[in-house]
A and B are shown apart, each in its own frame.
Chain A
Amino acid sequence: MNVLAQDPALETFVLNMGPQHPATHGVLRVKLVLDGEYIVEAEPVLGYIHRMHEKMGENRTFAQFMPNTGRLDYLSALSYNHGYVCAVERAAGIGVPERAEYIRCITVELNRISSHLLWLGAYVLDLGGFTPLLYAFDDREILLDLLEGVTGARLTYCYFRFGGVYNDIDDDFVTGLKGFVKRMRTRLPMYHNLVTKNIILRKRLEDIGFITPELCRKYGATGPVARGSGIDYDVRRHEPYSVYPEFKFDIPVYPKGDSMARYLVRMDEIEQSLRIIEQGLDKLPSGPVMAEKVPKILKPPKGDYYHAVEAARGAFGVRLVSDGTNTPYRLKLRSPSFSNLSLFAEAAQGLLIADAIALMGSLDLVIPEIDR
């Protein structure tokens, strides 16, 4: 962190990065106070895409809120479906058949890979490289077709239901998925050669945008941002849910805490998700995909329930306060990017604009999830 000349005669000017700016991936505005190109103070301004999902939750029945969860973070919509469905199942005490749990895990991991691929393309685009975006989207397109074949939608899936999934996966999804996994295994080395080992990119990412574990703890950062600073916290391993204990996969953690560490965490996570999918396909049991007796009008008993899920950007938590009627009394959606972004103001002190964009890209923000 270089020392800024802090004398009051310092001539700084305010630059508005956003809300309409190529590097903010959505309508996020960052008010930068600059001294030349060095950031004296950065203040993200939110609320440009605030839709008040939590109020919608309060006047919709449990089933009717399902499409909203996909609109929170449309890049890993299935994880958000999963979080909401698990929370309501925990509240209402609904069991889920084994096959449905496996299908959920496989599709959520697929969604994580598609989210990381889009992040990879967009991040290198922010750093100036145009081509890797197209390669990443090429892989992602195959994946979206696979998920569209099963769920019917490409981005905002509404695939999970309380007690199972909407419809079963068919054989050409399984064969297509096996083909995709094999192909992805050959594409990952190509990304590492083209992007990770590239000296220009390494100079852009290494030792840029340090985030200390203490900063993560103070701001509640989770997901790849925390794992990039040496914190071994992954909800799939920390609070095991669904059938994740059945799978053998490891959690990539890089202690350095710079943008390159967060980059490598996500690249390794793609590899781990492929492993999970393979194990999931091998152990996929047969049987029903929907629990038998799921009440049409769901009325979970009175009380306060919480369920956390590992989305692509971190721990997505749903706090459900139910008063016994068929609409939730209070529905709090704890989104990971909200906390991840809150540490940007402190982490971007003294950086250059180009490095601040490298830092912001490494946080992998999705703005509608922050504003809710």
Chain B
Amino acid sequence: MKANALKQAMAKVSSAKISEAPYAAKGFHLEISVAPAEVAAAAAVLDREGFFIEAVTGVDWLGEQAAAEKAAKAAAAAAAKKAAASGEAAPAEPAPAVAPAIPAEDQFEVVYDFNHYEALCRVTMRVRVVRSTPEVPTISEIYPGANWHERETHDFFGIVFTGHPDLSPLLLPEDADFHPLRKDFQA
């Protein structure tokens, strides 16, 4: 099936982590998270597998780091309280490992949607980028269709797509220096 073929092909991209997603509940079949440096390589693999580009967009996870820290502290406090309640059982056990690694700084997430004309397989590729210097290499050489999508994402989030032929505003006025979809955007 196309999903398995894609998994083998994607193995070459070192930093790509593929995970299945329940199509009925989520709407896409595969989720790939890639390091920013290898976006072009992953896109090239997808291009060879015959996928077409559906959309490129961004999500601004402002405040995620603060929330993650608060959650981690709460979890540690709960663990400590539980340990106290159960009669001083070894309080020294580390905070539950399940808490995700707290990101050093808030992040943007660039979401690439690919789909396939023949096989039913929608792939969502996610790239995490630091908010202060959001740089992602462009894939417009591989997928010319992504050219406009990336310009639009740059308009709305300020994510710079390095190597993009022309990052001027697509939908916003020419002299726009604001990025409306950032969570800290004040009209």
A-to-B contact residues, CB < 8 Å: 46-47, 50, 52, 54-55, 58, 87, 90, 93, 216-221, 226, 231-233, 238-239, 303-308, 315, 317, 319, 321, 329-330, 332, 334, 338-339, 342-343, 346, 371-372
| Min CB–CB distance B100 → chain A (angstroms) | 14
A306 CB contact (under 8 Å) in B124, B172, B181: B124
Q: Does B156 contact A (CB under 8 A)?
A: yes
Closest residue of chain B to A342 (Cβ to Cβ) is: B148
Say yes or no for B50: interface residue by CB 8 A criterion.
Answer: yes
Does B92 have its Cβ within 8 Å of any Cβ on chain A?
no
Contacts of A346 in B (CB 8 A): 144
CB pair B156–A342 under 8 Å, yes or no, is: no
Q: Which of A217, A218, A334, A339 sits near B117, CB closer than 8 Å?
A: A217
Given known pairs A52-B180, A330-B59, the reply for A305 and B26 (CB within 8 Å) is yes
Is the Cβ of A90 less than 8 Å from the Cβ of B25?
yes
When the two chains form their complex, are residues B169 and A47 in contact, meaning their CB atoms are under 8 A apart? Answer: yes
Ordered by A's residue number, 25 sampled pairs between the chains whose C-beta atoms are within 8 Å are A46-B148, A47-B172, A52-B180, A54-B156, A216-B52, A217-B50, A218-B143, A219-B52, A219-B143, A220-B52, A220-B143, A226-B117, A232-B118, A239-B122, A306-B27, A306-B113, A306-B124, A308-B27, A308-B115, A317-B54, A319-B111, A332-B55, A334-B54, A338-B148, A342-B147
B89 at the interface (CB under 8 A from A): no
B26 to A306, Cβ gap below 8 A?
yes
Q: How far is the CA of A218 from the CA of B43 in the complex (A)?
A: 12
Chain A residues with Cβ under 8 A from B57's Cβ?
Answer: 319, 330, 332
How far apart are the CA atoms of A232 and B170 in the complex, in Å?
31
Bound form: Cα–Cα A84–B89 in Å: 52
Which residues of B lie under 8 Å from residue A332 when comparing CB positions? 55, 57, 111
A220 — which chain B residues lie within 8 A by C-beta? 52-55, 143, 145
**Contact yes or no, A334 B113, CB < 8 A:** yes
B130 at interface, CB cutoff 8 A: no
Q: Is the CB of B54 within 8 A of A329?
A: no
Of chain A, the residue at the smallest CB distance from B64 is: A323
On chain A, the residues within 8 Å of B96 by CB distance are none
A87 and B25 CA atoms in complex are apart in Å by 10
Residues on A with beta carbons closer than 8 Å to the beta carbon of B26:
90, 303-306
Pair A217/B52 contact, Cβ less than 8 Å:
yes
Is B74's beta carbon under 8 Å from chain A?
no
B61, closest chain A residue (CB): A329
Contact across chains for A218 and B145 when beta carbons are under 8 A apart: yes
Beyond A232-B117, A304-B26, whether A339 also contacts B145 by CB under 8 A is yes
* B117: A residues at CB distance < 8 A: 217, 226, 231-233
Q: Does B78 contact A (CB under 8 A)?
A: no
Contacts known (A306-B26, A315-B54); A218 close to B144, Cβ less than 8 A: yes
Residues of B contacting A339 in the complex (Cβ-Cβ under 8 angstroms): 53-54, 145
Q: Which residues of chain B from 108 to 163 have any CB-CB distance to chain A below 8 Å in the complex?
A: 111, 113, 115, 117-118, 120, 122, 124, 143-145, 147-149, 156
Distance A220 CA – B46 CA, assembled complex (angstroms): 13
Q: How far is the CB of A363 from chain B (nearest CB, A)?
A: 14
CB distance from B82 to the nearest CB of A (A): 25
Given contacts A46-B171, A90-B25, contact A54 B181 (CB under 8 A): yes
| Distance, CA A372 to CA B156, complexed state (A) | 12
How far is B117's CA from A232's CA once the two chains are assembled, in angstroms? 7
Cβ of A235 to closest chain B Cβ, rounded Å: 9
Q: Judging by beta carbons under 8 Å apart, are B55 and A55 in contact?
A: no
Minimum distance in angstroms from B60 CB to a CB of chain A: 8
Q: Give which listed residue, B27, B52, B124, B144, contacts A90 with CB less than 8 A.
A: B27
Which residue of chain A is the closest to B153 with respect to CB atoms?
A332
- Which B39-83 residues have a C-beta within 8 angstroms of A? 50, 52-55, 57, 59-60
Q: Does B94 contact A (CB under 8 A)?
A: no
Instruction: Collect the chain B residues with CB atoms within 8 Å of residue A342's CB.
Output: 144-145, 147-148
Known: A90-B27, A219-B53, A304-B124. 14 other contacts (CB 8 A): A46-B171, A52-B180, A90-B25, A218-B143, A220-B145, A304-B26, A306-B124, A315-B115, A317-B54, A319-B55, A321-B59, A342-B145, A343-B145, A371-B171
